[in-house]
């Protein structure tokens, strides 16, 4: 009887405490006003999952300080990899590169939403396709790869290549929308639109938050229920069972995922180095030459002794070594997760394919640059508001034409997907008396812009005629051929000295076609954002909100 009494007392105490906590969560501790109560203002207080599980396919990267640009073999002694101390915030990162099958899912989805059979959508579908001709060689028999690498199931789990920086960014945007749509369907907020043939499955997270009537061809019956409950006033009839219940979902509810994007250069390098495995107390033991904690490219493990730990070019004509021995198992990009992960659980951060990162390239990162989550390439924008105070959407009506842009290599890409919110750069009025930023486009900030130039004059027109720091080729112009009357592209004929511009992006990590030198995570290279190769892929990251770490702290000196 004593035991039964004790158990009953514990259960009642637990229930009482839980009820008290629940009541305290539902009221403001400073004002006493109720949260999430339709009868008392319906003030929002969303729920936050402290564990914050990583999104599908990602691992958690706990942020911290590290030395960016610290290479092991600095044979050139140039300023391109000058070491500098940086702090990186916690984030989530794909454990492996985006594969052909995952990217093909994106291509199929976009084909369903923007049917290329319709003339106005034709270039939208084409803009998502990888450039499969990157495999061709003038003196090489590689057409088999051009024809099969992207679509054949044998290469489904291989990293996608032939994608430009621009295409990688568009995939990240789509992934944000796809994950949020799946979340809303799984939680019962939206009907499973993939089972329905009568509505377009176009979904955009920003549009959903601003005006969800703009989605699904205006069919608002798609929305099953919102958040909380709907209170009826006395005398009102009971709503039908299929009526929308609760209030509409907002960002404050914490239901929607953080956006997916390309990692910054600093984030990518921090994740690749994974200095957590050679930390001692509050210091780092030595430097890491590769993503793994060793100065050799071969495994020292008893079971895998001698095996290569990455996919890279070992010498002239040696893409995989001898048959059956000294081989890394691949002469082109290999299947993801074919080699051991690094200390964070990330695969192929050295070798396989190099990867796009978000940053605009500059040869030097100034020591006076921001040391907290460093990133060059910010473009601050705002929603376009019309004269009536309404948010402006890109036209998606039957008679509306899609606005396209022609890239320097002739590729045609949409400036904006139909149905999405129109964003415009912030203006000078938006930054009046601000101390943290002063303009919209910050790609060139502190490096060749008006304020940092030694040719500075008050007259901006005079500045434009002065020499620029990075004089890259101008965009080709479209002219009419005097003979045929057809419109043709004419390239900039003026002699140029560099490819570096505000449209040049960084890519990191060695690739299957690179020598060992480029496997060092601190090495950095660049290409124009519209170009694609057979050795550059990408992976996504997503920001972690809340505390840096939710787990228990590890021993300060794990080696003892």
pLDDT at 1: 61
Taking all residues of the chain, what is their mean pLDDT, rounded to a whole number? 85
Which residue spans within 117-233 are E strands per DSSP? none
3 state SS of 263: coil
pLDDT at 375: 94
pLDDT for residue 551 is more than 70: no
Find out whether 521 and 272 touch, Cβ atoms under 8 Å.
Answer: yes
pLDDT for residue 496 is more than 70: no
Give residue 64's pLDDT band: very low, low, confident or very high (50, 70, 90).
Answer: very high
Question: CA 224, 225, 226, 232 torsion: positive or negative?
Answer: positive
Find out whether 260 and 172 touch, Cβ atoms under 8 Å.
Answer: yes
Backbone angles phi and psi of 3, in degrees to 5: -65, -40
Tell how far CA 264 is from the center of its chain.
9
Give residue 225's pLDDT band: very low, low, confident or very high (50, 70, 90).
Answer: confident
Cα–Cα distance measured from residue 201 to residue 110, given in angstroms and rounded to the nearest whole number: 10
DSSP string of 321-378, one letter each residue: -STTSS--S-SSPPPTT-S---TTS---SSSSSEEEEEEEP-S---TTS--BS--S--
pLDDT at 241: 66
Lowest mean pLDDT among 33-42, 254-263, 368-377, 508-517: 33-42
CB atoms within 10 A of CB 501: 20
Find out whether 453 and 466 touch, Cβ atoms under 8 Å.
Answer: yes
CB atoms within 10 A of CB 544: 20
3 state SS of 128: helix
Cα–Cα distance measured from residue 350 to residue 309, given in angstroms and rounded to the nearest whole number: 9
Cα–Cα distance measured from residue 396 to residue 557, given in angstroms and rounded to the nearest whole number: 59
Rg of the chain over all Cα atoms, to the nearest angstrom: 27
The dotted CATH code for 54-187+255-377+509-544 is 3.90.1580.10
Helix (H) or strand (E) holding 272: helix 265-273
Give residue 25's pLDDT band: very low, low, confident or very high (50, 70, 90).
Answer: low
Give residue 21's pLDDT band: very low, low, confident or very high (50, 70, 90).
Answer: very low
Cα–Cα distance measured from residue 499 to residue 134, given in angstroms and rounded to the nearest whole number: 20
Q: Which pair of structure tokens corresponds to residue 12?
A: 């009642």
Cα–Cα distance measured from residue 45 to residue 22, given in angstroms and rounded to the nearest whole number: 13
pLDDT for residue 328 is more than 90: no
pLDDT at 469: 54
Domain-by-domain residue ranges, the chain?
2-33, 54-187+255-377+509-544
Q: How many residues does the chain have?
A: 560
For the whole model, what pTM was predicted?
0.87
Of 216, 213, 206, the closest CA to residue 185 belongs to 216
Percentage of the chain lying above the pLDDT 90 cut: 50
Q: Which residues contact 135 (CB under 8 A, 6 or more apart)?
A: 142, 143, 145, 146, 149, 162, 534
Cα–Cα distance measured from residue 525 to residue 546, given in angstroms and rounded to the nearest whole number: 33
DSSP string of 385-447, one letter each residue: B-TTSPBPB---STTPPPPEEE-TTS-EEESS-TTSBPEEE--GGGGTT-SS---SB-TTTTT
Highest mean pLDDT among 301-310, 427-436, 447-456, 460-469: 427-436
């Amino acid at each position: 009887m004593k035991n039964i009494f004790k158990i009953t007392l514990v259960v009642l105490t637990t229930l009482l405490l839980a009820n008290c906590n629940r009541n305290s969560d539902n009221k403001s501790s400073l004002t006493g006003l109720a949260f999430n109560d339709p009868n008392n203002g319906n003030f929002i207080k969303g729920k936050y999952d402290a564990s914050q599980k990583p999104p599908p396919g990602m691992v958690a990267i706990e942020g911290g300080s590290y030395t960016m640009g610290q290479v092991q073999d600095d044979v050139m002694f140039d300023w391109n990899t000058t070491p500098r101390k940086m702090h990186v915030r916690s984030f989530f990162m794909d454990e492996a590169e985006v594969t052909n099958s995952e990217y093909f899912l994106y291509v199929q989805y976009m084909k369903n939403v923007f049917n290329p059979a319709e003339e106005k959508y034709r270039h939208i579908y084409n803009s998502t396709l990888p450039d499969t001709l990157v495999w061709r060689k003038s003196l090489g028999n590689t057409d088999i790869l051009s024809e099969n690498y992207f679509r054949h199931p044998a290469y489904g789990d291989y990293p996608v290549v032939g994608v430009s920086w621009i295409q990688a960014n568009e995939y990240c945007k789509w992934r944000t929308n796809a994950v949020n749509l799946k979340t809303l369907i799984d939680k019962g907020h939206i009907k499973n639109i993939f089972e329905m043939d009568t509505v377009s499955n176009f979904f955009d997270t920003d549009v959903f938050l601003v005006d969800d009537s703009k989605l699904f061809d205006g069919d608002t019956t798609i929305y099953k229920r919102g958040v909380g409950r709907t209170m009826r006033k006395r005398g009102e009839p009971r709503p039908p069972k299929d009526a929308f219940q609760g209030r509409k979902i907002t960002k404050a509810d914490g239901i929607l995922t953080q956006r997916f994007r390309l990692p910054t250069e600093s984030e990518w390098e921090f994740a690749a180095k994974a200095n957590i495995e050679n930390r001692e107390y509050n210091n780092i033991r030595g430097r890491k030459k590769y993503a793994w904690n060793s100065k050799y490219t071969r495994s020292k493990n008893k079971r895998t002794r001698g095996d290569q730990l990455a996919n890279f070019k070992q010498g002239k004509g040696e893409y995989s070594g001898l048959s059956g021995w000294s081989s890394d198992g691949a002469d082109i990009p290999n299947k993801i997760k074919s080699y051991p992960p690094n200390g964070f659980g990330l695969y192929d951060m050295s070798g396989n394919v190099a990867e796009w990162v978000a940053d605009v390239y500059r040869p030097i990162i100034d020591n006076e640059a921001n040391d907290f989550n460093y990133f060059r390439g910010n473009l601050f924008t705002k929603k376009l508001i019309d004269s009536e105070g309404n948010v402006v959407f890109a036209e998606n009506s039957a008679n509306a034409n899609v606005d396209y842009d022609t890239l320097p290599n002739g590729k045609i890409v949409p400036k904006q997907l139909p149905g999405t919110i129109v964003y415009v750069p912030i203006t000078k009025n938006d930054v009046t008396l601000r101390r943290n930023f002063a303009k919209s486009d910050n790609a060139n900030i502190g490096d060749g812009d008006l304020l940092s130039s030694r040719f500075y004059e008050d007259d901006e027109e005079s500045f434009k005629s002065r020499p620029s720091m990075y004089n890259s080729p101008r965009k080709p112009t479209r002219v009419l051929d005097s003979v045929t009357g057809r419109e043709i592209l004419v390239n900039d004929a003026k002699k140029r000295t560099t490819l570096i511009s505000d449209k040049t992006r960084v890519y990191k990590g060695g690739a299957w076609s690179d020598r060992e030198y480029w496997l060092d995570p601190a090495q950095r290279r660049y290409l124009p954002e519209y170009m694609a190769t057979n050795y550059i892929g990408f992976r996504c990251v997503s920001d972690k909100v809340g505390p840096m770490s939710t787990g228990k702290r590890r021993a300060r000196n794990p080696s003892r």
